[in-house]
Amino acid sequence: MQRSVLWVVLAASLWGTTGTAAFFLGPDVSPLAIGAVTMGVGGLILALWGGTATLGLWRDRSSRRLVLVGALGTVAYPLAFYSGMATAGIALGNVIALGLGPLTAAILEAVIDRRRPSMSWWIASAAALSGILLMTGAKVELGGGRPSNVALGVILATVAGLAYGTYTYVFGKLADRGHSPRAVAGGVFGAGAPVLLVVLLVTGAPLVATAERVGLVAYLILGPMVIAYLAFTQALARLRASTVATIALLEPVVATALAILIVGEVLGPLAVTGIVLVLVSLVVFSASKGPQLRT
């Protein structure tokens, strides 16, 4: 179990760097292009890495609906996530997307698998949602003189959070059915990759304008995508989906620190209050419940 927790910590730490890396790609690079190249190319690599295991998952008729739902989540998530960070800031975008992940995964577990969360979880989640509502009216300076649209960014980050929680749940269900982490990562991300690659063809030209951008893109694909999601799916083989999503709250902590210290984001009082409320609520839930082995 402890090794599984460490896999999630590694993944979350790598994910926490995505907003800062995206910032340094420059304002002329579309967040749609960043999301598409990260999960589109990364998904293709994971599918090839999975090899026969990926093909085995795709050929499993009983799992096709799950793969399709998961693929839809992996398409929606990067496009909404990077767009949310571009308009509401790295800190808010990360906190909202990752804060909604455990809530979404746990609701799916409760409704479909009849695994009822505890009362303390619902109280903490209600507080987290209140924090997200506070962020809607927050003021944020994005750094580098970039304009912000916090309300739009909160909506986009919310979509990303719902998508993240959905494919987290799907990953866990596929692991329950005996599919390996390589098969799950390759099969689900690979299924969503073609759509993202089409988006990349339309929006991605600025990504290769300089050698620095090519290097940052390579990092986003290999680090926060390929390595992080292999670690993520490895953890899901032993831990419940909602537990993994909760441990992954390390990501917005890392992302917020980098946003403030390196990017130069300035958060208004409502933004700070909302972030603290979301993080404290979900961390308290995680500490009171603790990591659980999958059953």
Looking at the DSSP bridge assignments, the partners of residue 140 are 267
pLDDT bin (cut points 50, 70, 90) of residue 162 is very high
pLDDT digits (tens, 9 = 90+) for 173-230: 998 888 988 899 899 999 999 999 999 999 999 999 999 999 999 999 999 988 988 8
Q: Provide φ and ψ at 265, rounded to 5°.
A: -65, 145
pLDDT digits (tens, 9 = 90+) for 111-157: 887 777 677 777 777 887 888 888 887 788 888 778 888 889 999 99
Q: Per-residue pLDDT for 287 more than 80?
A: no
pLDDT digits (tens, 9 = 90+) for 47-68: 999 999 999 999 999 999 999 9
Q: What is the pLDDT of residue 45?
A: 93
Q: Per-residue pLDDT for 90 more than 60?
A: yes
> Which position has the higher pLDDT, 149 or 290?
149
Q: What is the pLDDT of residue 215?
A: 96
Q: Per-residue pLDDT for 295 more than 50?
A: no
